[in-house]
């Protein structure tokens, strides 16, 4: 089992993912200062047909934009959800400005008044699994077996997160089927997003390792928030070649 390496270069695109299984944290200032995760939630009378049309018009089934490292699209409850990891915030914001018109056109044909919420936050830690190479941009297709989970922890920070992963020896004991694990701070909320190859693998990790460690650490602080993983039904997953081939 390979353990994650450390970032040693400012050349994010070519050297950041030197090891396929990679942990990136706040002790590596280059990434913490630059890479961002953009979350989108679109609510209204919209769904998978609109996702397919948006991807077709933007060409996402054939290529990814420069600077886009990983992109996940699917649904959370009745909302469309996107997650994108970018090399920096300026590339992320520029892409949103360029594509907003196309996205609005597709959405408003289905619902004249959709609600679009976009949030961008720095990446504290990004971990990728070996199986991610199956989902390079040129081969990306809808895969109903993939599943994701989003956990929002109010009034939490990255120090709490580091205590949790230390307690369960992660990523040292790397779980089978984990494709992407991304963590960042969204205002006063700590957001943990994980994408898995199969639902059963994610449930075992959540029930046997993550949730027990998370509840234990949170309660040591004297707080007892409701911790509810939200399922992301993955419809589309694609990664840049620099990440898939690392």
pLDDT per residue rounded down to tens, the chain (246 residues): 333 333 222 233 323 333 333 444 433 334 445 788 999 999 999 988 898 899 888 877 677 788 888 888 888 888 999 999 998 889 999 999 999 999 999 999 999 999 999 888 888 888 888 777 777 654 455 666 789 999 888 888 888 899 999 999 998 899 999 988 989 888 788 889 999 988 899 999 999 999 899 888 888 877 666 778 899 988 888 887 766 655
**Nearest partner of 192 among 209, 176, 10, 200, judged by Cα:** 209
- On the question of a cis peptide bond just before residue 61, with omega within 30 degrees of 0, the verdict is no
Q: Answer whether residue 93 is part of any domain.
A: yes
Q: Which CA distances in Å does 4 have to 7, 81, 171, 183, 230?
A: 10, 29, 8, 16, 27
Domain that includes residue 192, residue range: 19-244
Q: Answer whether residue 7 is part of any domain.
A: no
Q: Answer whether residue 2 is part of any domain.
A: no
Predicted TM-score (pTM) of the model is 0.80
Contact present, 103 and 41 (Cβ < 8 Å): no
CB atoms within 10 A of CB 86: 26
Q: Answer whether residue 76 is part of any domain.
A: yes
Q: Answer whether residue 123 is part of any domain.
A: yes
In angstroms, rounded to a whole number, what is the distance separating the alpha carbons of residues 147 and 200? 9
In angstroms, rounded to a whole number, what is the distance separating the alpha carbons of residues 246 and 244? 6
In angstroms, rounded to a whole number, what is the distance separating the alpha carbons of residues 34 and 9? 13
The two structure tokens encoding residue 213: 């460690």
Q: Answer whether residue 13 is part of any domain.
A: no
Domain CATH code at residue 57: 3.30.70.100
**Nearest partner of 42 among 85, 84, 104, judged by Cα:** 104
Number of domain units in the chain = 1
């Amino acid at each position: 089992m390979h353990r994650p390496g450390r970032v040693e270069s400012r050349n994010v695109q070519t050297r950041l993912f030197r090891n396929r299984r990679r942990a990136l944290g706040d002790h590596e200032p280059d990434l913490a200062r630059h890479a961002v995760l953009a979350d989108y939630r679109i609510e209204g009378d919209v769904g998978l047909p609109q996702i397919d049309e948006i991807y077709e018009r933007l060409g996402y089934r054939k290529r990814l934009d420069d600077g886009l490292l990983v992109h996940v699209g699917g649904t959370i409850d009745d909302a469309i959800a996107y997650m994108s990891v970018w090399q920096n915030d300026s590339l992320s914001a520029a892409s949103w400005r360029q594509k907003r018109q196309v996205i609005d056109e597709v959405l408003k044909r289905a619902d004249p008044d959709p609600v679009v919420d976009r949030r961008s936050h720095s990446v504290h830690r990004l971990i990728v699994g070996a199986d991610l190479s199956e989902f390079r941009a040129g081969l990306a297709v809808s895969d109903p077996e993939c599943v994701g989970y989003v956990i929002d922890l109010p009034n939490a920070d990255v120090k709490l997160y580091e205590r949790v992963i230390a307690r369960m020896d992660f990523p040292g004991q790397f779980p089978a089927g984990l494709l992407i694990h991304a963590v960042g701070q969204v205002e006063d909320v700590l957001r943990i997003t994980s994408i898995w190859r199969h639902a059963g693998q994610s449930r075992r990790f959540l029930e046997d390792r993550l949730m027990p460690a998370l509840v234990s650490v949170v309660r040591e602080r004297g707080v007892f928030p409701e911790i509810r993983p939200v399922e992301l039904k993955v419809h589309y997953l694609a990664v840049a070649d620099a990440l898939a081939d690392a």
